[in-house]
Amino acid sequence: MKIINTKFKDLKLYKANLFSDNRGYLREIFKKKILQKNLIFHYFAKSKKNVFRGFHFQSKSQQEKLVSVLEGAIIDICIDLRKNSKTFGKTFSIILSENNCKSLYIPRGFGHAYFSAKKINIIHYKLSNYYHPKF
């Protein structure tokens, strides 16, 4: 896995290793020895083309996220909501897809959304905290 820094403190891209042959492929998504985060909650989301989801943010029990696309492509968008950050209020966007094998690590303090670009889009999330709807 290759780590790619962004202009936002702690917001990072991970370029996964892809092993493919005539049967299909195997793609690494997470290695604790590289990311060194305790991501305890996992889920998948499936979205049709032209669906916009977000912005999601928990004011308490904030979540770190690792977002990966297993099928399709999304335009992933983050907004820095950390009041003491040099990039407060600024947005970051990137295309995550099954083809580019990139995952986005989003630290606490960011709002998160995505726009689905393909007919079918399957997104995998790894999170550091559980979803708390009251926050």
Q: Which helix (H) or strand (E) holds 33?
A: helix 32-35
55 CB-near residues (< 8 Å, 6+ apart): 77, 79, 111, 112, 113
With tokens 């003491």, the residue in question is 84
How many other C-beta atoms are found inside a 10 Å radius of the C-beta of residue 132? 12
With tokens 């295309």, the residue in question is 95
Task: Report how far residue 92's alpha carbon sits from residue 8's, in angstroms, rounded to the nearest whole number.
Answer: 8
Cβ atoms 13, 101 nearer than 8 A: no
| Active site members | 56, 125
